Structure 1
């Protein structure tokens, strides 16, 4: 005989929140979901991604293999 009342409560319209703003509604076992990263604030999608060349990789490579950069 299977056990009764073992499944969690299902919420049909669970809001997904990011920075206090509702993003969408989904079905979940939690009454509210919090996310830190969303398409609207992700650096890759907002073109705010910064590439940092901290040590000058090209210069380091050229120096390591004693190559001339004045071609």
Structure 2
């Protein structure tokens, strides 16, 4: 397996784990807190997760390009 593929696999695993944690936190918050607050929290968490995923994807693409350029 080429080195850049290892990087991609590691990043994907990290993203999946982080998203699972976020989902658990959201569920706990939903169970514990009142309705209006829950809606706000869920919206904020979703926005944050989307932003984080986009940033991670951009970073992965940049890293892969750099690694490929360096290797070749």
Q: TM tier, shorter chain?
A: under 0.3
Choose 1 or 2 for highest CA Rg.
1
Give the TM-score, by structure 1 length. Answer: 0.25
Higher strand share: 1
TM-score (structure 2 length as normaliser):
0.25
Q: Whose relative contact order is higher, 1 or 2, with alpha carbons under 8 Å and at least 6 apart?
A: 2
